């Protein structure tokens, strides 16, 4: 029986330090029927040359392009992909040797179009396993979609394997939230989704990564991602009977974003402009009741609607007494 081809897409940018172990972990997979698409996104370091070193393997294709961001590199990889299955890997991470064999076997056995695995957060001096208790759960796509929207299933491309036919929409340029604005769409095209709590993916925690650094675009991109989620679901009536919760999740997400932005250590006029943009979006949903968003969010909403500067002063003052950290934003 012919083995299905897996297309593995790696966007490469400034990855010279970790790229070789990443590619080697793919070469060492127990499942060997794959193609590897290395998309060099205009890396100024030696990443492009490292990619070319591996191109002698006929299964590996290298593209050198002008820098356009992670989403554009991933989109180019999808356009090139020949496989029946598609996977995404970040160039500073690595995989367990049996990742693709185990995920593909489980996916086929459960007749699913998407499978999501656990992972290992790799810090400098420690590891943390996430979703690694060995449990397997199979969801109908609509139930999986609700769990994604509720934040119970993470929107991480690198933890997933997709059948090619569900990978339809292009990823928007919303780094680092392009997956947040895309994965839920691909799930809506599926019938079954498997969640497999085995930690196959090693997710390197780097302070320089896009999720651990901040610039004002990040807040704006997160806003655009959750806005896309709400409107895509609502306009297509993808979850009949779930309209109220979809609205509530979006409103709370917007209000939480304004709180996170207000409490940023380097709050400035750019962040204020994003808060004002979110406030203007929330005005489109008025009146908003205490019941649909909860007391805490309702109070913040009232403050926000009265005056942005007052809202920010109160939120920054109250952060002194808060246990939450500004390091984990917009989640």
pLDDT digits (tens, 9 = 90+) for 310-326: 999 999 998 776 655 44
Q: What is the mean pLDDT of residues 67-91?
A: 97
> Please, are residues 86 and 164 in contact by the beta-carbon 8 Å criterion?
yes
Spatial separation of the C-alpha atoms in residues 290 and 229, rounded to whole Å: 23
pLDDT for residue 1? 73
Question: Radius of gyration (Cα) for the chain, nearest Å?
Answer: 21
Q: Which of 24-28, 94-98, 214-218, 259-263 has the lowest mean pLDDT?
A: 214-218
pLDDT tier, 155 (very low <50, low <70, confident <90, very high otherwise): confident
Spatial separation of the C-alpha atoms in residues 221 and 17, rounded to whole Å: 28
Q: What is the mean pLDDT of residues 149-163?
A: 95
Orientation of helix 295-306 relative to helix 269-283, angle to 10°: 110
Q: Which residue has the tokens 């999808």?
A: 78
pLDDT digits (tens, 9 = 90+) for 160-212: 999 999 999 999 999 889 999 999 999 999 999 999 999 999 999 976 544 44
Q: Which residue has the tokens 């943009």?
A: 277
pLDDT for residue 206? 77
Q: Which of 118-122, 157-161, 217-221, 242-246 has the lowest mean pLDDT?
A: 217-221
pLDDT for residue 329? 54
pLDDT for residue 326? 45
CATH number given to 6-204: 3.90.550.10
Q: Say which DSSP state 310 is in.
A: H
pLDDT digits (tens, 9 = 90+) for 268-326: 999 999 999 999 999 999 999 999 999 999 999 999 999 999 999 999 998 776 655 44
Classify burial at 292, counting beta carbons within 10 Å of its beta carbon; exposed 0-12, middle 13-18, buried 19 or more.
middle
Q: Average per-residue pLDDT in the chain?
A: 93
Q: What is the mean pLDDT of residues 47-66?
A: 97
pLDDT for residue 323? 54
Please enumerate in sequence order all residues whose Cβ is within 8 A of that of 159, keeping only pairs 6 or more positions apart, or say none: 116, 117, 118, 119, 201
Spatial separation of the C-alpha atoms in residues 279 and 281, rounded to whole Å: 5
Tokens of 128: 């943390």
pLDDT for residue 325? 45
H or E, element range at 147: helix 141-149
pTM of the prediction?
Answer: 0.92
Q: What is the mean pLDDT of residues 219-234?
A: 96
Q: Is 65 a residue whose pLDDT tops 80?
A: yes
**Where do the domains of the chain lie?**
6-204, 216-321
pLDDT for residue 318? 86
- The CA distances from residue 193 to 3, 35, 145, in Å, are 21, 24, 9
């Amino acid at each position: 029986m012919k083995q299905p081809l897996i297309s593995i897409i790696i966007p490469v940018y400034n990855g010279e330090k970790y790229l070789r172990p990443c590619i080697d972990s793919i070469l060492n997979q127990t499942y060997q029927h794959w193609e590897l698409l290395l998309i060099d996104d205009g890396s100024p370091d030696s990443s492009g040359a490292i990619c070319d070193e591996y191109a002698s393997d006929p299964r590996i294709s290298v593209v050198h392009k002008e820098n356009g961001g992670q989403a554009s590199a991933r989109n180019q990889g999808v356009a090139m992909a020949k496989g029946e299955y598609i996977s995404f890997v970040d160039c500073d991470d690595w995989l367990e040797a049996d990742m693709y064999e185990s995920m593909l076997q489980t996916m086929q056995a459960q007749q699913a179009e998407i499978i999501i695995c656990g992972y290992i957060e790799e810090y400098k001096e420690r590891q943390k396993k996430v979703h690694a208790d060995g449990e397997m759960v199979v969801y109908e796509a609509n139930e999986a979609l609700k769990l994604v929207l509720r934040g119970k299933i993470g929107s991480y491309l690198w933890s997933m394997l997709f059948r090619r036919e569900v990978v339809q929409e292009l990823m928007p340029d919303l780094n680092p939230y392009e997956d947040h604005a895309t994965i839920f769409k691909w799930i809506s095209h599926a019938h079954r989704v498997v969640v497999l709590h085995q930690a196959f993916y090693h997710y390197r925690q780097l302070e320089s990564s896009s999720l651990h650094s901040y610039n004002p675009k990040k807040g704006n991109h997160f806003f655009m991602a959750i806005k896309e989620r709400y409107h895509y679901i609502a306009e297509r009536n993808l979850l009949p009977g779930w309209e109220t919760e979809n609205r509530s999740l979006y409103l709370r997400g917007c209000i939480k974003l304004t709180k996170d932005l207000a409490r940023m250590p380097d709050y400035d006029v750019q962040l204020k402009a994003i808060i004002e943009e979110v406030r203007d979006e929330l005005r489109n949903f008025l009146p908003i009741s205490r019941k649909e968003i909860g007391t805490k969010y309702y109070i913040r909403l009232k403050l926000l609607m009265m005056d942005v500067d007052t809202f920010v002063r109160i939120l920054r003052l109250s952060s002194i007494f808060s246990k939450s950290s500004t390091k984990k934003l917009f989640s």
